[in-house]
Structure 1
Amino acid sequence: MSLSREALPSRRPPAVGARKAVLEWFTAAHDYEWMREFQNSHRSGKVIRLLIALSMINISVMSFISLFADGGPSGAAATIWTLTLCITNLIIAALWLLLPFPGRLGVVLFAVYADLGITSALVLMELGNALLGCVLFAVIGGFVTFFVSPRWLVLHLVFASAAVLGIAGALYLQGRTDTLNLLVRTNVVLLAIMSVPITSHIFLTTLSADARSSVLDPLTGLLNRRGLTTAIEDLLPQGQRNGWCAAVVVVDIDNFKSVNDIYGHDEGDAVICRVAERLTAHVSRYGVVGRTGGEEYLAAVVTSRLHIDALIHGVRRALHGANDAIPVTVSIGAAILYAESDLWTDSADPVGTATRVADSMMYEAKAAGGNRVVTTLI
């Protein structure tokens, strides 16, 4: 029995699929802002900053000790540069402890500094010790695996590999090291530097994309109900502990069905996105925003008692544009909690209670004709 050409298994699609996956990974936009916000809002962010700071302190201590070790930096210039790096590392460690997790510029500059700093310290050492010290690039590789884009990761790996091969080549030219032994040591160092980062980065990029998509509204990019639940549960109690005033604000577009009926669903989607962008611009400095339904949004904010009313009542004006091709109005309901509100202690679920009250206030605004704000203290 013969098999037709179509029945024969094809080997090309998997390879093409693999190449496409790698290309998509390499060219994908890296969401530094999402990473920064996640690290600064999640409890693990403090632990990560602490670990980075401890790593910098450890490298500083080891660099200082190397000044007194055989094969370490020698001479006035090398000693001064090593001490400069030690002090700089300690300052950077302090910044990691004291400041919030940085955005794109901060993490990229840190990765570049780390690569250049390690290389400049290694070239001052005896070449055999320098080759062993190249394993420090694996430490930086762990950082770039988690916090920078694929392009910066590849650049780091190319730079680190070039440094290792350069030091190994210099050792070979000295002629004082067994070639096979040098080959093995170089291979071990390269494996330590190269083996994990790319595979891990591809996996983590895919995982984080799936995680974000599970908590984000696909149309507007705002948090969905699931994402909002976690964000609000962290935000509002934090505001209460710091003595701030908190509020849950529910926003609903008035008569949205008529927008879809008259202008079509594409224009309706454009209206939903426009409202999402303006609401985010108005309140994102003070909290989080999400889309909880077709034309309904929810924001949770924390700010001063003097500012909270102005912030909430300013939402209606912020969402209206006199020159909008499709003008819309909104009904807004808000539940405001002072830091001393009894709800924090008397309710088993103060966040859920505030959300339900805000929702009922929104329906009061809509029942009264819409295009208005109704608030209440709870």
Structure 2
Amino acid sequence: MTSWFLQKHDYEWMREFQNSRPSGKIVRIIVALSMINISAMSFTSLFAIGGPTGTAATALTLTLCTVNLIIAALWVLRPFPGRLGVVSFAIYSDLGVAAALSVLDLRNALLGCVLYAVIGAFVTFFLSPRWVVAHLIFASGIAIGFAVAIYVRGDMDTITLLVQTDVVLLGIMSVPVTSHIFLTTLSADARSSKLDPLTGLLNRRGLDAALEDLWPRGRREGQCAAVIVVDIDNFKSVNDIHGHDEGDAVICRVAERLTMHVSRYGALGRTGGEEYLAAVVTSRLHIDALIHGIRRALHGEGDSVPVTVSVGAAILYAESPLWTTSTDTVNTASRVADSMMYEAKASGGNRVVTTLI
């Protein structure tokens, strides 16, 4: 449990995952519909027995309804948010429900605490373990507070109160922790299945997933795109002379430096023993400098085992016919880039060969 509680939560991965999948839009619509439903219930409570009474309580309820509808619209119209967005939404939801319940009859307020189960589902799926625990403590505290107030006022017999409180707490607490542990394990396995175990770079499967979003974005923004293949020259001799441990160290060092050089512009993966593939999207003015800067970025004066690389790249300008006529632009560009890399090797290695497609 300690390791689960302390583990890092990858909010950025979750944001990118939700925004790159059709299911992400469905999730946002479900959240929006939940907010609309809560607004409808709050508004209806104004006309119910035991609902808000008085000017202040009515104004608070109407304000919360309005804010909820605005937030619902944002969920539909905006992409899935990052850490600040999901955390802020969860905090607002917890506090907003508490505020809405505070103006109800105590018995209705206790029953209304089951809404925290809905918020708990969101927190379970999209926030860290620490936020899950914080939500459970807050929600349970609110429910217990209402139960204590009912007991003090004598509004309900003790047995009925205990049963209702237990049912509410069961709804609030039973699912989130166990579900979050399961989902965390599942998502970690899903992420690791897309990573190369030695370097931590994307593998071929991970690259394919990353490019589903990157390539269409390049088209929409009118940017240049390139697929770049990088292969370490004479790598077999590194293993033969220095051993496989040193060879692995070289592979990891090249991966780290490539990451620093190209990752902000797209996706980078390891596609073979000593071969890497990068797909990048950037401006026409920058694309050539980015590609030709790879050899310099990988060079280190103090390297115990210095190596050179051969680089091949296939470049697509915004007006390239492949953007619209090819059904498999990435694979076509990858094959061309691979042939350019072999051309660089055939010319002696330690060079860059590019072509427009």
Q: Please, which moves more after superposition, 354-363 or 316-325? A: 316-325
1:317 aligned partner, one-letter code: R
The CA deviation string for residues 270-314 of structure 1, in whole angstroms up to 9 with x for no partner, is 333333233223333332111112221111122333433233223
Q: Are 2:180 and 1:174 aligned?
A: no
Is contact 1:233–1:351 with CA below 8 Å preserved after alignment?
A: no
Q: Give the drift of 1:262.
A: 5.0
Q: Secondary structure at the match of 1:369?
A: coil
Q: Please, which moves more after superposition, 235-244 or 330-339? A: 235-244
Pairwise mapping of residues 15-164 of structure 1 onto structure 2 (< 5 A)?
22-164=1-143
Change (3 A) 1:320 1:207: same
Q: Please, which moves more after superposition, 200-209 or 342-351? A: 342-351
Unpaired runs of 5+ in structure 2?
A: none
Structure-2 separation of matches of 1:266 and 1:90: 59
Residue in 1 that maps onto 2:345 = 366
Q: Give the drift of 1:217.
A: 0.9
- Which of these residues, 311, 316, 319, is aligned with residue 332 of structure 1? 311
Structure-1 separation of matches of 2:69 and 2:242: 61
Residue in 1 that maps onto 2:332 = 353
Q: Are 2:272 and 1:255 aligned?
A: no
Change (3 A) 1:323 1:116: farther
Q: Secondary structure at the match of 2:264?
A: coil
Structure-2 separation of matches of 1:90 and 1:320: 55
Q: Give the drift of 1:142.
A: 0.7
Change (3 A) 1:116 1:264: farther
Residue in 2 that maps onto 1:220 = 199
Is contact 2:20–2:212 with CA below 8 Å preserved after alignment?
A: no
1:329 aligned partner, one-letter code: T
The CA deviation string for residues 53-103 of structure 1, in whole angstroms up to 9 with x for no partner, is 232233233323323333222233333333333333333334333433222
Structure-1 separation of matches of 2:188 and 2:133: 20
Q: Are 2:209 and 1:230 aligned?
A: yes
1:331 aligned partner, one-letter code: S
Structure-1 separation of matches of 2:281 and 2:316: 9
Q: Secondary structure at the match of 1:294?
A: coil
TM-score by length of 2: 0.90
Q: Are 2:248 and 1:269 aligned?
A: yes
Is contact 2:313–2:337 with CA below 8 Å preserved after alignment?
A: yes
Is contact 1:240–1:338 with CA below 8 Å preserved after alignment?
A: no
Q: Please, which moves more after superposition, 300-309 or 107-116? A: 300-309
Q: Are 2:305 and 1:305 aligned?
A: no
1:290 aligned partner, one-letter code: G
Q: Secondary structure at the match of 2:193?
A: helix
Q: Give the drift of 1:258.
A: 4.0
Q: Give the drift of 1:205.
A: 1.2
Q: Give the drift of 1:238.
A: 4.2
TM-score by length of 1: 0.85
Q: Give the drift of 1:333.
A: 0.9
Q: Give the drift of 1:175.
A: 0.8
How much identity, in percent, do the aligned residues show?
76
Structure-1 separation of matches of 2:181 and 2:83: 19
When the two structures are aligned, how many residues end up with a matched partner?
357
Q: Secondary structure at the match of 2:293?
A: helix
Structure-2 separation of matches of 1:292 and 1:56: 45
The CA deviation string for residues 32-62 of structure 1, in whole angstroms up to 9 with x for no partner, is 2221221222222222222222322332333
Q: Please, which moves more after superposition, 75-84 or 210-219? A: 75-84
Q: Please, which moves more after superposition, 34-43 or 163-172? A: 34-43
2:125 aligned partner, one-letter code: F
